[in-house]
Structure 1
Amino acid sequence: MPENLTVIAQLSAKPGQETALREALTALVPPTLLEPGCIAYDLHRVVDDHGSFHFYEVWRSPEEHAANLKTPHLQSFLARSGDLLDGDIQVTLLRRLASGS
């Protein structure tokens, strides 16, 4: 059985768009958690940078993660992300090697 796919996505708000980006990202959480294959979809903010956000995601498979990128709620966010984001979304795909639990 293949290992789950872990995704770390880093997003930075344009100056003055911190609250709007936070609200837009927070709105992605409930529908994404309902997507097939979504095990975890946690939004974090950097402690000392209110405009820097990270998603910690765990997906059952790369295919299910890829399917999520095509959902209406994510496509809607991406369509307006140019107004909110300072730079590109940085995405890192990971495979867990060891667990502490």
Structure 2
Amino acid sequence: MSERLTVIAQLRAKPGREAALREALTALVPPTVLEPGCIAYDLHVAVDDQGSFHFYEVWRSPEEHAANLETPHLRSFLARSGDLLDGDIRVSLLRRLAPGE
């Protein structure tokens, strides 16, 4: 069995599009937490920058994370994200070292 995958995704709103991006990202949470293998899918906004959004995700396996990237709700968001995002989505794929389980 694969080991868990932690994902940190960073997204920046285009100036003036902060509220629209926040709404679009918030809409991703309910269907994603129901996806197979989703352990955590938490959306955050930077305390000092209302245009800087971050997802903290934990997936049971890299394969289940990859499957999530192909879901209709995520594909739909990505198709329309050009109007909302200032730059690319920055994604870090991480393996937890401590504490052990």
TM-score between the two structures when normalised by the length of structure 2: 0.96
CA distance in structure 1 between the aligned counterparts of 2:71 and 2:17, rounded to whole angstroms: 24
Q: Which residue of 2 aligns with 1:54?
A: 54
Letter in 2 for 1:48: D
In the TM superposition, structure 1's runs of 4+ consecutive aligned residues that sit over 2 Å from their partners are none
Q: Which residue of 2 aligns with 1:87?
A: 87
* Matched position secondary structure for 1:50: strand
CA distance in structure 1 between the aligned counterparts of 2:50 and 2:100, rounded to whole angstroms: 29
Letter in 1 for 2:42: D
Whether contact under 8 Å (2:24, 2:77) holds in the other structure is yes
Q: Which residue of 2 aligns with 1:72?
A: 72
* Matched position secondary structure for 2:88: coil
CA distance in structure 1 between the aligned counterparts of 2:67 and 2:90, rounded to whole angstroms: 18
Q: Percent identity?
A: 85
Are 1:10 and 2:15 an aligned pair?
A: no
How far apart are residue 84 of structure 1 and its match? 0.1
How far apart are residue 25 of structure 1 and its match? 0.2
CA distance in structure 2 between the aligned counterparts of 1:85 and 1:96, rounded to whole angstroms: 29
Q: Which runs of 5+ in 2 are unaligned?
A: none
Q: Which residue of 2 aligns with 1:36?
A: 36
TM-score between the two structures when normalised by the length of structure 1: 0.96
CA distance in structure 2 between the aligned counterparts of 1:9 and 1:59, rounded to whole angstroms: 13
How far apart are residue 100 of structure 1 and its match? 8.4
Q: Which residue of 1 aligns with 2:96?
A: 96
